Structure 1
Amino acid sequence: MGQILLVRHGQASFGAANYDQLSELGYEQARLLGQWYTNSHQPFHKVVTGGMARHRQTADTCLAELPKPLLADTEWITDEDFAEFDHHEVLLRHCPEFADAVAFKALLADHVEPPRALEHLFRAAMQRWMGGWHDSDYTETWPDFRRRCVRALERLENGQSGHTTIVFTSGGVISTLMQHLLGLQDYQVMEMSWTLANCAVTKLLQRPGQITLGYLNNYAHLEWLGQPGSVTYR
């Protein structure tokens, strides 16, 4: 039996000019994951990154913690089908104020709980994107995103027995793959994406012609090795 480990990237730089960079805590989360795998003597036969800077930074930082023998025969590839959907576009189409960072922050600041207000805005933006009534507004529609996530997974289905592939990707991709494997509704994909921790791991088990879920959203390495505050979701 082979296995695929889906790793959500470490905490990115939300609110910064470039979101697609790990924060200081994001790098630490990746190091903790690497230390966890070092302790468990986990070899990796293939490393896949989704093409975004935060994916590669998480992969490089995590795997730098492993002793070289565990990576001696490891194949590294980039598969942009494991990239996240365009959060910026999805939010902008629902809330045009998002185009002006100052105006958007002022909009959120008017609320008693700005993080909660942002969550509500983003949920509404996701519903608009997933609903299908405004597909012409988006560079990538929800069905197109879903298809490319499944396509990326299917390319990994031919892994050899006993081999481990680790994929560094994003929460939207992982949630969408869970929909594919578990038969979830669209709204459940959206709800799940809010619960996936940064640098958490979801394990898939590979049998000939079949992929099943081993476990979902495991962040024990952050709780066991990290300091208070090591577990984040945004």
Structure 2
Amino acid sequence: MGQIYLVRHGQASFGSANYDQLSTLGYEQARLLGQWYANSRQSFQRVVVGGMARHRQTADTCLAELPKPQLADAEWITDEGFAEFDHHEVLRRHCPEAVDAAAFQQLLARHEEPQRALEHLFRAAMQRWMSGWHDDEYTETWPDFRRRCVAALERLDTDSSKQATIVFTSGGVIATLMQHLLGLQDYQVMELSWSLANCAVTKLLQRPGQFTLSYLNNYAHLEWLGQPGAVTYR
């Protein structure tokens, strides 16, 4: 049977002008994952990148650690079906202050725990998006995003019984695919997406026309060297 490894990108530049860039730690997380695969002699016949800069940076940094034989003749594909939803738009529709980065930071700074305040705001923004009551306000609705993610996964369906595919994508995509495979409710997708670690791996087993979950959110490679702070979620 085939294997599909869904990799959430490394830590991005949250709070900066351009979120779609890995942080210094994000690059290190990607290197640790690559070293893990190199040591385990895992080879890949197909590499899929979700089309965002942080996906490509994670892929390039991770796979640079693998010896060439482990990627020999690997097919590289860019598939924007694995791109994340527009979290900036989702947040702005719920909280108009988020349009201006400085004003939004000031809003958060009024709270004793700014990070927790941000989580509450984003959860509410996600609930608004998922409710379906305001679909005309979003470039991509929640049902459209779900369909896009599932369609991207289905494009990986292959008759090859042993092909290994690695996909560099985002947490929202992975959580949504888990909803598809496990029958989760919308609120569970939201909760799951918050628990997926940067550069964690979710593995699927694939037979023609069928995908099953092997493991979810594995980040043992980040704990490998025992470095404090190596595991992040934002």
Task: Establish whether TM, by shorter chain, passes 0.5.
Answer: yes
Q: Which residue of 1 aligns with 2:99?
A: 99
Q: Which residue of 1 aligns with 2:112?
A: 112
The one-letter code sitting in structure 2 at the alignment partner of 1:152 is: A
Counting only pairs closer than 5 Å after superposition, residues 23-172 of structure 1 correspond to structure 2 as 23-158=23-158, 160-172=160-172
Partner Cα distance (1:69, 1:138) in 2: 45
Contact 1:90 1:129 in 2 (8 A): yes
Q: What is the TM-score of this pair, normalised by structure 2? A: 0.99
Contact 2:198 2:232 in 1 (8 A): yes
Partner Cα distance (1:161, 1:229) in 2: 38
Cα deviation code 1:56-108 (max 9, x no counterpart): 00000000000011111100000000000000000000000001111111110
Gaps of 5+ in 2: none
The one-letter code sitting in structure 2 at the alignment partner of 1:53 is: A
RMSD (Å) for aligned C-alpha atoms = 0.7
Structure 1 position 185 matched with structure 2 position 185: yes
Shift of 1:162: 1.1
The one-letter code sitting in structure 1 at the alignment partner of 2:186 is: D
Structure 1 runs, 4 residues or longer, greater than 4 Å off = none
Which SS does the other structure have where 2:228 is aligned?
A: coil
Which SS does the other structure have where 1:194 is aligned?
A: helix
Shift of 1:208: 2.7
Partner Cα distance (2:149, 2:43) in 1: 25
Cα deviation code 1:180-231 (max 9, x no counterpart): 0000000000000000000000000012321100000000000013511000
Cα deviation code 1:125-157 (max 9, x no counterpart): 000000000000000000000000000000001
Which SS does the other structure have where 2:224 is aligned?
A: helix
Which SS does the other structure have where 2:214 is aligned?
A: strand
Task: Work out the number of aligned pairs and report it.
Answer: 234
Contact 1:93 1:125 in 2 (8 A): yes
Partner Cα distance (1:34, 1:78) in 2: 19
Contact 1:159 1:206 in 2 (8 A): no
Q: Which residue of 1 aligns with 2:217?
A: 217
Which SS does the other structure have where 1:225 is aligned?
A: coil
Which SS does the other structure have where 1:148 is aligned?
A: helix
Contact 2:158 2:207 in 1 (8 A): no
Q: Which residue of 2 aligns with 1:199?
A: 199
Q: What is the TM-score of this pair, normalised by structure 1? A: 0.99
Partner Cα distance (2:169, 2:155) in 1: 15
Q: Which residue of 2 aligns with 1:229?
A: 229
Contact 1:129 1:135 in 2 (8 A): yes
The one-letter code sitting in structure 1 at the alignment partner of 2:224 is: W
Contact 2:11 2:233 in 1 (8 A): yes
Shift of 1:159: 5.0
Gaps of 5+ in 1: none
Contact 2:130 2:142 in 1 (8 A): yes
